[in-house]
Amino acid sequence: MKTKTYAKSIKMFLIDGLPQGRISAELSNWTGKAYKIPRTMLKASADRIDLQANGIYLLFGKDPDEENKDMVYIGESEEIYNRLLKHLAEKEFWNTVVIFISKDESLNKAHLKYLESQMYDHASEAGRYKVCNNNKPKCSLISEPDVAEMEEFFDNIFLLVSTLGFKVFDKVKQDPDKVSGTELLFIKTTTGADAQGQLTEEGFVVFRGSKIAEKEVPSFKGPQFKGAYNLRQNLIKAGIIKKESVGLILTKDYLFSSPSTAAMVVLGRSANGRTEWRTSAGVKLTDIES
């Protein structure tokens, strides 16, 4: 039995009147509240009294050691604003913080530790961001009613973080029943490629276990294919594409920016993804879309 989802009303307030400035967000009938604050505007938020309360936060930025890799640090504090001021000096990578507090001040230290642990686990499992916490947060022991309350609180954190533009908890693989118009697509060639994927609202996902062509054609190293070629090499280097007894295998579901980028990485050559990816009946993606 599938869980029913319900429409939500989100109230977003541009504190500075600018989309790139500070934003507060609230859900109807929820005691929580979110803030999205650019690093450059943190000190300007000293006058916001509710940021002196208990809270949970996520620092977002780029991994300095891996080009274009998103990174997140997850933390909690009973004096959240003061903790974030310390991160200005201690952590250089981040450029945006998303903060969650309770408007009725009902979050205690045990609640914060529970949420921190849940957020760490979900972010690590999703694998979209490099989680840069030095240690895995310990999950506090709380009562059964508190667990139920914090699970609901986390679900709302999940929703608001994604709405604010950070899909840190979203798993890459999509449920075909929840993505309108999508179906499974395949590439299978005599060069060893045998991949399965799906078009989603974010791009194209190639599924774990897909076989990747081992050899690349010489022209694939040309400047016109630099992005796809470098991505393929980086995935091999990171172990996301791994050499096994049956050949090169994709070890996790991976989201590509487009069907063509996905096809080029799978095939090791130039490719038009909208003609290479086909249904089990042989229908091309381009024909499905038209």
- The pLDDT score that the predictor gives to residue 222 is 87
How large is the average pLDDT for residues 94-108? 93
Q: Does the pLDDT at position 30 exceed 50?
A: yes
Residue 201 tokens, joined: 């609202």
Each residue of 179-238: pLDDT tens digit? Answer: 444 689 999 999 889 999 998 888 899 999 999 999 999 999 888 898 899 999 989 998
Is residue 7 left, alpha or beta, with left meaning phi > 0 and alpha meaning psi from -120 to 50? beta
How large is the average pLDDT for residues 122-131? 91
Q: Does the pLDDT at position 142 exceed 90?
A: yes
- pLDDT > 90: what percent of the chain? 72
The whole-model pTM stands at: 0.74
Q: Does the pLDDT at position 1 exceed 70?
A: no
Q: Is 133 helix (H, G, I), strand (E, B) or coil?
A: coil
Non-local (6+) Cβ contacts of 257 within 8 A are 203, 204
- The pLDDT score that the predictor gives to residue 20 is 92
Each residue of 270-290: pLDDT tens digit? Answer: 999 999 999 999 999 999 887
Each residue of 156-171: pLDDT tens digit? Answer: 999 999 999 999 998 8
Return mean pLDDT, the chain: 90
- The pLDDT score that the predictor gives to residue 246 is 85
Of 188 and 176, more confident: 188
Distances (CA, A) of 123 to 14, 51, 128, 169: 27, 24, 7, 5
